[in-house]
Structure 1
Amino acid sequence: MKSYITTPIYYVNGAPHIGHAHTSTMADILKRNRKALGYDTKLTTGCDEHGQKNQEAALESGMPITEYLTMRSGEFQRLFDMINVDYDYFVHTSRPEHMRQVANVEQRMFDAGLIIKKQYSGLYCTGCEQFKKTTDLTDEGNCPDHPNLGVEELDELNYFLNIEPYRQQLLEHIEENPKFVDPPIYRAELKRMLAEPLEDLCISRPKTRVSLGVELPFDNNYVTYVWFDALFNYLTNLDWPKEGYEQWWQAAEHTIGKDILKTHGVYWPIMLMSIGESPPARLSVHGHWVGPGGIKMSKSLGNVVDPIEVIEVVGTDALRYFLARNMRSDGDSNISLELVRQTYNSELGNKLGNLLSRAAKFSKKQFDDRVPTPGLFGSADEIIRISVLEAVNGFARRIEMADIPRLTQQLITVCDRMNNYFAEQAPWDLIKDPITDERCRTVIYVSLDCIRLVFEALRQVIPMSSNAALLMLNCLPNENEIWQPALDSLPPETKLNEIETLYPRITE
């Protein structure tokens, strides 16, 4: 079984932000999930180095364009390395082979009569690098995603791909493949986008306006529209059209934010259909992060969240955990450094790390540094054991991006129950009486075995601290084995390693 997961390739006209961190982290969680289940996995992320926005940003910086692109792409790659994104390939659209294949497919389309040249007048949003219809704009006449930039009236001679003939075919594909877009709210939105005839897609920009891009093979006065160029990275990453790409492409899953649903859900499938390729298997869509109170992030408001700053304060796994735990499937979600810190202290620190520390240190002190051998399990033991197994089993199946917050929530909820169990059983009292010594051993074993299971599941979400916890328990799973969660897989008399505070409290 194969799983090919992609993130968008990100514009390098500015520093990476929390949205970039989120999408790539979610893609990484999906890859770790698939890999744990025995899939042959591939994850790609990277940067789009073409287009008007990148060209203008490079000019404003005063740096040579190549130097600027290298600097910015390096920032994105360093961030994803900091976040522990296990990507297999980092995309650069300036890669010669990618550019060559984009030019080749344009020539194919041109030779087949799919591309026409015509004069076009329309409203253009520089932020989206797209022409807009009046129905795409707000009541004030602005792009909803870039209200501060405004739109400009352009009258240009350009090349276009006629996409309307494929609209019905795409609608049929959506109906026949109900999992093509997830969650369903975005599937419904995509169908609304396809409810009316589609205008021709402009696939070029004149060099007099934009020179940073793939030159059209049939007219050297133009470069390729940046989105047309960028979308083909999903194929060129697989060495398309060379033999062997097909198996990966059949398992392609694009993780995207809701703002680029149209490019990935309308333009991209139609571009593929026009050259005889099938659409990707799945579009996994998420909402946006906003400041506290639902206010859109803005530098002027001072509510922009810098992922690197968050990592420097609370660490990589705290950020990954917050992103996994808190994105709503039906809209936008709040984030701030203070919210991440609070979640880290209250959930990772108080609920998970504290239980590990209390149970493991008790075991080291009272049972000669070892995991005790349990006696018979009672009803309280079986209730918590079954609850934990049910919670972790969510990550023992193939998950989708929309599942991640709910399944992560299940793990922290069962941690509450584990803490209640530990407090109610009071092993510190049981150890005082030889008559209840065996009961004490059972409670400690159940606690440690259940913690082990939770951390095994959390390896898909917060791998660094989960592996650290499992090393403390001296039971790190074999990377090459399919993960099958099971109770009683922590061998009694296992010698425990040094127990350190996994999530030290952060106060400022």
Structure 2
Amino acid sequence: MKSYITTPIYYVNGSPHIGHAFTSIMADILKRNRQALGYELMLSTGVDEHGQKNQEAAQELGMPIEDYLDMRCAEFRDVFDKLDVTYDYFVRTSRDGHKEAVAGMEQSIFDKDLIVKKNYTGTYCKGCEEFKKESDLTEDGQCPLHPTMQVEQTEETNYFLKMEPFRERLLKHIADNPDFVQPVAFRNELKQMLAEPLEDLCISRPKARVTLGVELPFDTEFVTYVWFDALANYLTNIDWPDESYAPWWEECEHLIGKDILKPHGVYWPIMLMAAGLPLPKKLSVHSHWVGAGGVKMSKSIGNVVDPIEVMDKLGVDALRWYLARHMRADSDSQISVELIAQTYEAELNNKLGNMLSRAAKFARSKFDGKLPVKGELTAEDEALRQTVLKATAGMGEWIDLADIPARTQAIITAAAELNEYIDKQAPWSLFKNEDTRERSKTVVYVALDCLRIVMEALQQVIPASAGKALATLNVTEVARPWKPELDRLPGGTELGDIQPLFPRVQ
């Protein structure tokens, strides 16, 4: 069983930001989930090194283009490593094999007379690196995605891919495969994009304007449009055109932000159809992050959330946890350093870190550093155990992108009940009385065994912290395929060192 998950490849004309962090962390959570279920996984992420914006960014810094690309590539890799994103393939579109495959795809489409050369006059957005229709612009005639960047009126000769011959076929594919685009709001948005006849897609840029890109195989005066080149990475990562690509491609899921639905939902499927290739299995689309109060993030306002700053202050799992918990499926979600810090303190520290610390320290001090052996269970014990099993069951099943917030919410709700249980049962009070000392052992065992299940589930979300907690409980192996199971901690087990999972932050 295979699963191939992709993130978009990120432009290197700027440093990694919270949007890059979010998509890549969600992809990593899905990968860890499916690995826990026993799937063979492939996760690709990386950088898009071509196009006008990257070319100009290197020029502004006065750097040779190769040095600039190497520097930015290293920066993105470093950030993904810090985010605990366990990618299997890191994309660089400057790779020779990728460029050769892109040229091969273009030539095969050109040979079918699906690419035409013509003169074009239109509105061009440098931020999107694409031509815009009147209906794509705001009332002020600006690109809604790049409102501070003036659009340009451009006239030039280029090559165009015929799109309209494939529109009805793509609509049929969407109708026949209801899971092709998730959630449903974005599927409806895509169908709206395909409701009217499609204009031909410009797939080249003259070298007089852009030199950083894949040269067209049928006309060396042009390079490939950056989106055509970038989208093909999803195939070249898995060795297309070699036939070995097919089993992975059948199980391919693209994770994307809503702003790039059109390239992934319209351009890419039609490129594949034109090349005679099957479509990916699914597009999983997410909304965007905005500042506190719903205000769009902006450097001038000062509400931009820098993932590096958050990790330096609070640690990687504070960021991973907040992003997993708080993205809504089809509407924008709020984020700020303060909101992340509040969630870290209220949920990770108070509900998970303190629980482990209290129960494990008590067991170490009162039961010779060992996990006690449980006795007879009460109705309260059984109720808690069933609550934890139910709350964590979702992590033992296939997770889709839109499921992540609800699955993490269920776990933290169960963690709150676990804290209430130990407060109410008060094993430290039970221990003082000879008649109830055995009962205190059962309470501590039940609490720590339930916490083990929670932490095994959270290995998919906050792996570093969950790993530390399991080391304290002396859990060296977690079964695959994973599902929540009770009584997997043998009584009498030596407990490991107790490390503070989520230290208090000033």
TM-score interval (norm. to shorter): over 0.9
**What letter matches 2:493 in structure 1?**
T
Secondary structure of 1:160's match?
Answer: strand
**Contact (CA 8 Å) 2:456, 2:478: kept in 1 or not?**
no
Summarize the alignment of residues 445-464 of structure 1 with structure 2, pairs less than 5 Å apart.
445-464=445-464
Displacement after TM superposition at 1:484 (Å): 2.5
Name the SS of the counterpart of 2:53 in structure 1.
Answer: helix
Quick check: 1:497 aligned with 2:499? no
Q: Which AA in structure 2 matches 1:257? A: G
Give the TM-score normalised by structure 2: 0.99
In structure 2, the residue matched to 1:43 is 43
**Quick check: 1:85 aligned with 2:85?**
yes
After superposition, give the CA deviation of every residue in 1:119-159 in whole Å (9 maximum; x if it has no partner).
11111111111111111111221111111102111111110
Aligned to 1:484: 483
**Other-structure match for 1:273:** 273
2:33 maps to a residue whose letter is N
Give distance in 2, aligned partners of 1:375 and 1:37.
32
| Matched residue, 1:21 | 21
Asked if 2 retains the 8 angstrom alpha-carbon contact of 1:174 and 1:180, the reply is: yes
Counterpart secondary structure, 1:55: helix
Contact 2:468 2:499 in 1 (8 A): no
Paired letter, 1:198: L
**Aligned mates of 1:31, 1:477 — CA distance in 2:** 19
Distance 1:77 1:140 in 2: 39
Give the superposition deviation at 1:478: 4.1
Q: Shift in Å at residue 378 of structure 1? A: 1.0
Alignment of 1:103-142 (within 5 A): 103-142=103-142
Superposed, 1:47-446 pairs within 5 Å as 47-446=47-446
> Contact (CA 8 Å) 2:351, 2:412: kept in 1 or not?
yes
SS of the equivalent of 1:256 reads strand
The one-letter amino acid paired with 2:4 is: Y
Q: TM-score, normalised by structure 1?
A: 0.98
Q: Quick check: 1:297–1:304 contact (8 Å CA) kept in 2? A: yes
CA distance in structure 2 between the partners assigned to 1:434 and 1:183 by the alignment = 58
Structure 2: which amino acid aligns with 1:136? D
**Structure 1 Cα separation of the partners of residues 255 and 227 of structure 2:** 16
Total equivalences in the alignment: 506
Secondary structure at 1:158's aligned position in 2? strand
Shift, 1:40, TM fit: 0.6
CA distance in structure 1 between the aligned counterparts of 2:360 and 2:68, rounded to whole angstroms? 50
SS of equivalent residue, structure 2 residue 432: coil
* 1:476 shift after superposition: 3.1
Letter in 2 for 1:483: W
Q: Which runs of 5 or more structure 1 residues have no equivalent in the other structure?
A: none
Q: Match of 2:243, SS? A: coil
Take 2:34 and 2:477, find their aligned partners in 1: how far apart are those partners? 16
Question: Is contact 2:395-2:483 (8 Å) kept?
Answer: no
Partners of 2:190 and 2:265 within 8 A in 1? yes
CA distance in 2, matches of 1:36, 1:85: 16
Moved over 2 A (4+): 476-479
Report the AA paired with residue 393 of structure 2: N
Give the secondary-structure state (helix, strand or coil) at the position aligned to 1:5: strand
Residue identity over aligned pairs, in percent, reads 62
How many Å apart are 1:482 and its aligned residue? 2.0
After superposition, give the CA deviation of every residue in 1:445-476 in whole Å (9 maximum; x if it has no partner): 11000100000000000001100100000013
Find the aligned partners of 1:397 and 1:137 in 2 and give their Cα distance: 43
**Displacement, 1:366?**
1.1
Provide the C-alpha distance between the structure 2 equivalents of 1:308 and 1:462, rounded to a whole number of angstroms. 17
The residue type paired with residue 408 of structure 2 is T
Greater Cα shift, 498-507 or 88-97: 498-507
Give the letter aligned to residue 486 of structure 2: L
- Name the amino acid aligned to 1:130: E
Q: In the aligned structure 1, how far is the partner of 2:155 from the partner of 2:191?
A: 30
Matched to 1:431, the amino acid is F
Gaps spanning 5+ residues in structure 2: where? Answer: none
CA distance in 1, matches of 2:442, 2:24: 41
2:476 counterpart letter in structure 1: L
Q: Residue 265 of structure 1: CA displacement?
A: 0.6
CA RMSD, aligned part only? 0.9
* 3-state SS in 2 of match to 1:428: helix
2 CA distance for matches of 1:8 and 1:477?
33
Rounded to whole Å, the distance in 1 between the matches of 2:137 and 2:199 is: 16
State how far apart, in whole Å, the 1-side matches of 2:37 and 2:343 are. Answer: 29
The residue identity in structure 2 corresponding to 1:261 is L
Task: Report the alpha carbon displacement of residue 297 of structure 1 after superposing the two structures with TM.
Answer: 1.1
In structure 1, what is the Cα distance between the partners aligned to 2:376 and 2:241?
61
Answer with 465-474 or 125-134: which moved more: 125-134
1:267 Cα deviation after fit: 0.6
Question: By how many angstroms is 1:340 displaced?
Answer: 1.1
**Given that residues 207 and 222 in structure 2 are in contact (C-alpha distance below 8 angstroms), is that contact kept between their aligned partners in structure 1?**
yes
Larger deviation, residues 338-347 vs 392-401: 338-347
- CA–CA distance in structure 2, aligned partners of residues 310 and 44 of structure 1: 24
Supply the distance in 1 between the matched residues of 2:242 and 2:389 (Cα, whole angstroms): 44
Query: SS where residue 277 of structure 1 aligns?
Result: coil
Kindly indicate whether the alpha-carbon contact (under 8 Å) linking 1:161 and 1:200 is maintained by their aligned counterparts in 2.
Answer: yes
Contact conserved, 1:467 with 1:476, CA < 8 A, in 2?
no
Residues 68-118 of structure 1, C-alpha deviations (whole Å, 9 max, x = no match): 111111111100000010001100000001000111111111111010001
CA distance in 1: counterparts of 2:497 and 2:217, whole angstroms: 63
Contact 1:164–1:199 (CA<8 Å) still a contact in 2?
yes
What amino acid maps onto 1:439 in structure 2?
A: R
Please state how far the C-alpha of 1:477 moved relative to its aligned partner: 2.4
Task: Give, in angstroms, the shift of residue 433 of structure 1.
Answer: 1.1
